[in-house]
Amino acid sequence: MGFPGTWMTESESMVYRVVPKCACSTIGQIMFYSDHGEFFDGDIHDAQSGLHKWALDQSKDPITKRIQAQDTYAFTCVRNPYTRILSSFFDKICGIQRNGKRYRGNLVPLLIQKYGIEVGGEDGKQEFDQVKSFRRFLLFARDTIRWRRPMDPDIHWSAMSGHISTFIVNGGRYDNIFWTETFNDGMANVLRHVETKQTIDLATIPRFNESEGHGPKRAHPVEEYFDDLSMHLIYEIYKKDFELFKYDFENPGNKMPIGEIDLDEVHAKLGD
């Protein structure tokens, strides 16, 4: 299995397990900058050099060695499950992707046909009932995760604990898991523990939100998208995420964590 979704600086100063929709573009660019003194020109997900990635054959050996030796600072970043799946819906389902097409080709037509969702027309810019469509999308997300139909779950809405566990199961150990909601504090903590070739001033680093502008803007507060049934579905899908990363399941309107992440607990529960 190896270490899917893992990035490492070329200088081997830090290792990062990517969790989609959790500031991964910004983190990748910071890692790139820490070695090269400049940002990657484009979406960091497209970079084929300048950063070790598990998807690149030449990176597999160095990544494996560093992770298994557990001598390189390893971290990841998490996000409130309520806002994460909302972001996935507006970006991946309603939005036009950077290649000018719909995400995953026939996915959106399938959702329109089988689940009756709307996405704001051909360009994602027309008015539609966001709450109704999102709740129908939630049924689809649950079906993919629970029963793997009508397709396998997508990385953008599968549970964070699932992404994070592959790193542990294959011999890695996290030194730090921080929250997107307190990004600067969390990333500063990472940078305090590593030696970088270039100095990084987090206060001046732009946010590389590659999904920004892909889809319609969210028209309502987060809590309006989640009724009792939606919350039940969310808990069914993301129970471990709420518990391990200390988010508030009871109040969708509270995006902030309500406790401290216990790394020993994460390793114990996700290491099976």
Residue 221: per-residue pLDDT: 97
Query: Degrees (nearest 5) of the Cα angle 204, 205, 207?
Result: 125
Over residues 186-193, the mean pLDDT reads 97
Confidence of residue 266 (pLDDT cuts 50, 70, 90): very high
Please tell me what DSSP assigns to residue 256.
S
Burial degree of 106 (CB within 10 A; 0-12, 13-18, 19+): exposed
Residue 210: per-residue pLDDT: 63
216 pLDDT higher than 90:
no
**Rounded percentage of the chain residues whose pLDDT exceeds 70:** 98
pLDDT digits (tens, 9 = 90+) for 126-136: 899 999 999 99
192 pLDDT higher than 70:
yes
Residue 215: per-residue pLDDT: 76
Average pLDDT score over the chain: 94
Confidence of residue 214 (pLDDT cuts 50, 70, 90): low
With contact defined as beta carbons under 8 Å apart, do 17 and 76 qualify? Answer: yes
Dihedral sign from CA coordinates of 223, 225, 229, 230: negative
Residue 126: per-residue pLDDT: 85
Question: How far, in Å, CA of 146 to CA of 142, rounded?
Answer: 6
